Structure 1
Amino acid sequence: MNEKQIVSTDVSPSPRRDVVLLAICQALFMTSTTAIVASSALIGYMLADDKSLATIPLASQFAGMMASTIPVSLLMKQIGRKNGFTVGLLIGIIGACLAILSIISDDFILFSIASFIIGVMNAVGQYYRFAAADAAGASFKAKAISLVMAGGVLASLGPLLANWSKDMLAPINFAGIYIAICTLFLASIIVVRLINIPRPSKEERKSSGRPLHKIIFTQKFIVAVLAASSGYAAMSLLMTSTPLAMAACNFEFIHSAQVIQWHVVGMYAPSFFTGALIKRFGTYRIMEFGAIILGVCILLNISGTALINFWIGSILLGISWNFLFIGGTALVTETYKTSEKAKVQGINDFLVFGSVAFSSVLSGVLHNLIGWQNMNLTVVPLVCITLTILIWTSHRQKTKA
């Protein structure tokens, strides 16, 4: 089949309606994710004999995401976005139920396995943004991605949900959080079934396009993955240990929950205008700004451990993630043709969440070995490398133009 004859059937007949529904799904998905981020390390610390392994469950979740991104993308190519999202949410419910059982039975290994299974669901949830790009068509693509990610603003309620539900099964701490997460997954299934994105055509399902290596070794793809990976890995490294760092500074759980809540606002509130900023200033400029903000965040984190440092630093960390991750996502959608999107989206998320899984494992180890402020210093080389490559690539693009 000639590639030029293959036209995407993922474009929705009612793109704005579907973008709104996908934004609701994103909000529910990220609310569950932030509830887990706020509590997972503390649950791991409670269950693990070796306290340096406290962040292993969260790292297992990211490992589940990394391992599932490519299979999930290829599955969606065959059964469509709607059915793919539904399958993922059902898997997430299974994982949440196992997490409840693991906490009740005081089983660290089972909790890590449950987290891995929830990570499979999270891999599925990451495709809400790509579904929006596909449904919207070319002219609405960047804004559609941005608007769906803006749905995550409501995810700022996740840490508060964790705080509210953690004693639901008292005297067993934290198990109630996963009852709340099951409820969010069930609500997401209802919303997903209302989405009207057509299943890929027979031609799309059969065609594979160019060999993958000819796409992933292009300059644009490499820069897109670098930006998204650096933003997400830095955020994962620092936010995974934030509850541990705050507990070490004698702050209560409600304080760390509120810090993560404002971090989530920083992650998603800019999404209301990130798409417009990309359209006006260009993707590279916005990603460069994201790297600079990440540098400012690190300076603030190493300057002290007062509540205000954690609070403002977490907001800046969220904003930097937003610019780097949305910029990287928008850029990667420019690298593939219709028949290539499943494998390219899959390998993109595999690389991004591979770096996130690694940084999550590293987070607990570094926090235990060198402490919070020195952990922040380890991110400085990543910021410098990312910013240098973005500026150099942007300059080359302008020179060619």
Structure 2
Amino acid sequence: MTGIPTGWRRYVGVGIGRSSWLLVACQTFYFMGISIDLTLTGVVGLALAPTPALATLPLATITIAGTVCSFIAGFLTASIGYVRVMITGAIAAMVGAALSVIAVSTHDFPLLCCGTALVGAYRSTGGYIRYMAADRAPSGQRERVLSFVLYGGLLAAFIGPFVATTSSAFFGAQYAGSYFMVGVYAMLNIPLLLAIRASGVRAKTDGEKPVPVPLAEVRGTRQFITGLLALAGSGAMMTMIMAVGPLGSQHAGHSSSMGATIIQWHLVGMFAPAVFSGNIVARIGPARTSVIGAALFVVAAIAGLGGDGFVNFLIALTLNGVGWNFLYLAGTTLLVRCYPRGRGGRIQAVAEGIGSVTGVAASLSASTVFYFLGWQGTNVPVLIIALALLVVLFVAALRARGDEVRAEEQPAGEAEQPAERPMDVQES
């Protein structure tokens, strides 16, 4: 890699460390497996449910189990480490995938619900991949590593649907092969996680485990509140538009291929900006980056309000995805700055849990909002939320800039010491 120009090295992962590359692979397999369950379970549920009213129950078990386990996973990482928690989640996904294969083959609806619930538990561990990457990032590389790990989502967006389709009939019963691949992807993450554990930096703690930072120490700070708002708001707005987009496209008379195209570009919008968004955060800071993300959500909602043409859907969902990327990365960066390396288990648990709750609320309300307001009307509440978030984040960015100016004016010896302590890396 010595022949790569210096200006390009940031884009191809030079200097971010072996663990970060392994975590990109973990993120890829994670998203590929989860995307199969989220894509197929609604269709399979309709085919197996004793009544159409229960068709979405298996899909609901994914989100409900994922929400509950998000809190549990966060608190467990504080006591047993990221790797053990994520391996436990992967094993749960393997068992859940096996149950789903049996359920599809035997037309057993309750068993399908059990299988998808276990995959939901696995889903709850995925958000901690980025926190693990932040804790293991080389000094001064946190923002870059956080964005680089999102490359895994971009790879999964292109590879996942193809594998799900081609593997569908592996075991005779339709979709049994696809659920089997969910378990395969989860299994492939286990050796990667063990390799990360073997290559990790161990904390110098005199034999004692790092003590998690109590939530009470950070819950009133501007960084924590701003980061939490960015993550929760972006997750809710992204989920609602992603859920309504295909329905609105179909209702507007567009072809199924057009519906697939807008979702694909939505996913590209979510993950492709990772090529440069980490560098933007490093240059202008997470507070100002979050303002850009909120502004993109505003523009996306305005594009959706503009009509139900294919171009409106394409622009709205693509910019919605890009806005999510900026807010997700900025919010995560703000959160990881609230605690020393390896001591953020409790903070992460609250952030992931609240993010899951808002995502579930948006998902469950999306169909009702669409039924009463239609595609264009659905963009109204999203626009209101985006504008409110934009104002709050803009004020927070101004205050953060003011703090920076005051810190620069202080004598060097009186400046605040950074919270990050590189050696406080939790032993995984």
State the TM-score, normalized to the length of structure 2: 0.81
1:242–1:273 CA distance, 2 compared to 1 (3 A): same
Q: Give the drift of 1:347.
A: 1.2
Counterparts of residues 73-222 of structure 1 (less than 5 Å): 73-106=74-107, 110-157=111-158, 158-169=160-171, 172-195=173-196, 196-198=199-201, 206=209, 208=211, 211-222=214-225
Aligned to 1:388: 391
The residue type paired with residue 130 of structure 1 is: Y
| Alpha-carbon separation, structure 2, partners of 1:309 and 1:259 | 10
Q: SS of the counterpart of 1:125?
A: coil
The 1:378/1:45 distance shift into structure 2, 3 A limit, reads farther
Give unpaired runs (5+ residues) of structure 1.
1-13
SS of residue paired to 1:61: helix
In the alignment, the residues of structure 2 paired with residue 373 and residue 46 of structure 1 have an alpha-carbon distance, to the nearest angstrom, of 31
Alignment partner of 2:363 out of 360, 363, 382: 360
**Which residue does 1:317 correspond to in 2?**
320
User: What is the match of residue 268 of structure 1?
Assistant: 271
Shift of 1:282: 1.8
Asked if 2 retains the 8 angstrom alpha-carbon contact of 1:81 and 1:197, the reply is no
Partner AA of 2:396 in structure 1: T
Which structure's residues are more often helix, by fraction?
A: 1
1:84, CA displacement in angstroms? 2.5
* TM-score normalised per structure 1: 0.86
Distance 2:47 2:254 in 1: 17
Shift of residue 16 of structure 1?
A: 0.8
Q: Is the 8 A contact 1:52 1:364 kept in 2?
A: no
The answer to whether the aligner puts 1:232 opposite 2:232 as a matched pair is no
Give, in angstroms, the shift of residue 20 of structure 1: 0.6
State the Cα RMSD in Å.
2.8
Instruction: For 1:232 and 1:34, locate their aligned partners in 2 and report how far apart those are by CA, in whole Å.
Output: 16
- How far apart are the structure 1 equivalents of 2:102 and 2:367? 24
Aligned residue pairs: how many?
387
Deviations 1:339-379 (A, max 9, x none): 64111111111111111122122223333444333222221
Deviates more, 1:67-76 or 1:316-325: 67-76
Identity of aligned residues (%): 27
* 1:258-308 Cα distance to aligned partner (Å, 9 max, x none): 432322221111111111101112212211111111122222233344444
- What is the match of residue 402 of structure 2? 399
Q: CA 1:363–1:160 in 2, change beyond 3 Å: closer, same or farther? A: farther
Matches within 5 A, 1:251-330: 255-330=258-333
* Distance of aligned partners of 1:53 and 1:211 in 2 relative to their CA distance in 1, 3 Å threshold: same
Bigger relative contact order, structure 1 or 2, given CA contacts below 8 A and separation 6+?
Answer: 1
Q: Are residues 76 and 197 of structure 1, via their aligned partners in 2, closer, same or farther at CA, if it must alter by over 3 Å? A: farther
What amino acid is the match of 1:98? L
| Correspondences of 1:45-60 after superposition (within 5 Å) | 45-47=46-48, 56-60=57-61
Unaligned runs of 5+ in 2: 1-14, 406-428
Letter in 2 for 1:386: L
**Alpha-carbon displacement from aligned partner over 1:28-61 (angstroms, at most 9, x marks no partner):** 1112233333334444454557767665544432
1:159–1:260 contact (8 Å) kept in structure 2: no
Letter in 1 for 2:39: A
Q: Which residue of 2 aligns with 1:347?
A: 350
In the alignment, is the contact (CA less than 8 A) between 1:38 and 1:260 conserved in 2? no
Aligned CA distance change for structure 1 residues 91 and 344 (closer, same or farther; 3 Å): same
| Deviation, structure 1 residue 229 | 0.9
Cα pair distance change 1:20/1:223, threshold 3 Å: same
Deviates more, 1:391-400 or 1:241-250: 241-250
| 1:198, distance to aligned residue in structure 2 (A) | 4.6
